[in-house]
Structure 1
Amino acid sequence: MSINRRDWLKTAFLGSVGLTLSPLDFLAKSTPNFSELKNDEKTIRLCFNENPFGVSPKALEVMQKNLSLSSMYDFKFADVLCEKLAEKNQLKKDNILVSAGSSFLLELITKYVSLDKGHIIIPDPSFTIFEPIAVFLGMSKSVIPLNDKKKIDLEKMKQSIRKGTKLIYICNPNNPTGDLLSRQEIENFIKSVPDNITILVDEAYIEFTNQQSLGDLVIQHKNLVVTRTFSKLYGFAGARLGYAIGHPKMIENLKKLQSWSGAEISVVTMAGAISAMDDKEFITKVLDNNQKVKDFTNSEFQKQGIRTIPSSANFVYFSLENYKGDYFKQLRQAKILGGKTYEEKGKWTRISLGTMEEMERYFSVIS
């Protein structure tokens, strides 16, 4: 597959006014060099864990064919999409809530648990994009550092539970580390937590692993909500689509906070997503390339004596503690967007996995 990220951004929706890429400001405000390089067409983006192979060709074809429906409200695709997602997860339609990206679902769940104020527990570092909303709505928080193995510390999270705790957030695999907690570890944790506390498990990267999703557990654990996204494996980061899996009562309550559930998703995105799930050839190619590039990246870091964390996602977490150069300056001069520093101690940062050509360019710059 020859398409790359810049070709995709330029041509995928040429002439379309029905789709626009969502602003990246909320993700990019602390990304070094972003404001300087974001509009440069020669920039290589290795900072947002995007799919470097774009969108499935079959999905793109369907999306283009359905552009003419952009003038009409959707009364078809949402139902088909929810039914397909329910089938994919071996659940029922009333276990599924779709939205324009999983970030909006994290926000929605945060608003739900904040109705009566209270307390949230979050790991750090992690994808806690919803944290400012919780604080604004009057929630207190406990921020739990990763343990010495860079894993989410479930035991310390449990110890942080108090009378007013409303939400515990777990990102698995974790972003930015890529570490994967086992299904059994999280299931045991869920069983040990009072069932009046919502447990939110963000599985944005679970499809890069061989581990079974926790989605099936929502039937017996009414306080569990699992979020998934089409932004990573399927390459819909700009098209925007995510979904939540929960007990029917949980999904019903979340919908009460929406004036029109799912209305923020374009018909073009939904049509493409339905097709994308069936493009096994593209999915296999993305997963195979991701593993090859990951192996190459880890090998190159090892050659330079750079410490890494084993990754179960499409990015690698590594330490700049022993790196002698000016890493972010070198990237800026080469028009490469990398991650930010997530942990000052050890100078831990992250790099997204691009195409093999992009990663070869990256290592030629930092070596």
Structure 2
Amino acid sequence: MVFQRDAISKLPAYKQGVAPGDSGAVKLSSNENPFAPLPSVVTVIAEALSTIHLYPSMSAPELTERLAARYDIDAENLAFGAGSVEVASQLIHASAGAGDEVIFAWRSFEAYPILVQVAGATPIPVPLTDGDRHDLPAMAAAITARTRLIFVCNPNNPTGATVTTAEMHDFLARVPENVLVVIDEAYVHFNRDPDSAIGLDFFKQYPNVAVLHTFSKAYGLAGLRLGYAIAPASVAANLRRVSVPFGVSDLAQRAGVASLDAEHELNLRVDILVDERTRVLAGLRAQGWTVADSHANFVWLRTGDDTDRVNAALIEQGILGRAFPGEGIRVSTGSIEANDRFLAAAASLASGSPGQ
């Protein structure tokens, strides 16, 4: 038998959100943007199709220039990948290996422990608070001489909770400067919490902070795979060293620039989704559900041991959320019609579940 790493065979596979197929169900399991791409972005992509026989630029020069100017940072502070999850993988591979530890809250983005183990490092999950928020004091207490990297997902996936500016300052004061803290802001565009920590502010104040952003959510480019890190120059250089060559396609780069050009239109769509998230939360609470505020493009039903039953009932009524057995169900903010269907399904569930 061909040799394979034993640790890999024991890894859970990353689960993609269930697709509806021909069932007529609505897919609210992947936090996708429900709006179709902007015509201006589609036009740019179509115009680039005649050059897909050529390799893309690995340095993404136009996108780099635009983002560097936007954030008032140096071009050397940017590194790109096929979505922010791939850049997260770069960060892990560049920072940690066998015998090293990577800390993250749990539950948080489910790819973290998988990516850490693929790199041969040791994942250190730290339980969330009872309010489904990052327990930053506990995460600081978990730091050892082997800690190399810490992920802080803000807003947190799948709970939607934020970390405050004061909490982040207190936390970073306890983190050694040789440990990189990555603020994962995949959902930052939907964040309306005035007290929330802003990754870029911390990057500019601390030498050991990096920030992750993606074009998948607010910009609606999930299918093209484009994300980036804002990081200290030495860290960003290492990310480029460990990245997959030509991993960001020319189509993705052009679509990213076109999306920045159309940001006003895209922000109007984000505002609609934030309003819909607010409406869904209010509707759930009016039905008797206990739901915490979310600052992402989804809501979190803390259903505990009743998760399988509640999820099965939602599926029966054509609502495909993302269930985490024994914990809860994350339901994306979709179109108005999809959200109406979700609220109708939630209202019809029998009372007495932990989320109600």
Please indicate, yes or no, whether the TM-score normalized by the shorter chain is above 0.5: yes
Percentage of matched positions with identical amino acids? 28
Indicate conservation of the 8 Å contact 2:58/2:248, yes or no. Answer: no
Indicate conservation of the 8 Å contact 1:219/1:246, yes or no. Answer: no
Question: Is residue 2:341 matched to residue 1:361?
Answer: yes
Indicate conservation of the 8 Å contact 1:90/1:216, yes or no. Answer: no
How far residue 259 of structure 1 moved from its aligned partner, in angstroms, is 5.7
Indicate conservation of the 8 Å contact 1:102/1:227, yes or no. Answer: yes
Indicate conservation of the 8 Å contact 1:168/1:200, yes or no. Answer: yes
Q: Which residue of 1 aligns with 2:40?
A: 58
Q: Which residue of 2 aligns with 1:176?
A: 158
Distance 1:39 1:52 in 2: 16
Structure 1: unaligned runs, 5 residues or longer: 1-24
Among 232, 236, 241, the alignment partner of 1:256 is: 241
Structure 2: unaligned runs, 5 residues or longer: 1-12, 349-356
Distance 1:147 1:158 in 2: 14
Deviations for 1:137-173, whole angstroms, at most 9, x for unmatched residues?
4423322111122210000001111111111111001
Instruction: Describe how 1:181-330 pairs up with structure 2 within 5 A.
Output: 181-210=163-192, 213-258=198-243, 260=245, 263-320=246-303, 326-330=309-313
Indicate conservation of the 8 Å contact 1:59/1:276, yes or no. Answer: yes
How far residue 219 of structure 1 moved from its aligned partner, in angstroms, is 4.7
Deviations for 1:301-339, whole angstroms, at most 9, x for unmatched residues?
112211111111110112336989943223323333111
Distance 2:207 2:93 in 1: 18
How far residue 45 of structure 1 moved from its aligned partner, in angstroms, is 1.0
Distance 2:267 2:243 in 1: 36
Indicate conservation of the 8 Å contact 1:204/1:229, yes or no. Answer: yes
Q: Which residue of 2 aligns with 1:337?
A: 320
Indicate conservation of the 8 Å contact 1:103/1:129, yes or no. Answer: yes
Pair 217,295 (structure 1): closer, same or farther in 2 beyond 3 Å: closer
How far residue 135 of structure 1 moved from its aligned partner, in angstroms, is 2.5
Pair 257,303 (structure 1): closer, same or farther in 2 beyond 3 Å: same
How far residue 59 of structure 1 moved from its aligned partner, in angstroms, is 1.2
Distance 1:66 1:165 in 2: 44
Pair 128,190 (structure 1): closer, same or farther in 2 beyond 3 Å: farther
TM-score, normalised on structure 1? 0.83
Structure 1 residue matching 2:29: 3-state secondary structure: coil
Pair 259,321 (structure 1): closer, same or farther in 2 beyond 3 Å: closer
How far residue 109 of structure 1 moved from its aligned partner, in angstroms, is 1.0
Indicate conservation of the 8 Å contact 2:52/2:250, yes or no. Answer: yes
Could you tell me which amino acid in structure 1 is paired with residue 298 of structure 2?
F
How large is the RMSD of aligned CA atoms in angstroms? 2.4
Structure 2 residue matching 1:71: 3-state secondary structure: coil
How far residue 125 of structure 1 moved from its aligned partner, in angstroms, is 0.5
Structure 2 residue matching 1:149: 3-state secondary structure: coil
TM-score, normalised on structure 2? 0.86
Indicate conservation of the 8 Å contact 1:183/1:214, yes or no. Answer: no
Distance 2:49 2:113 in 1: 36
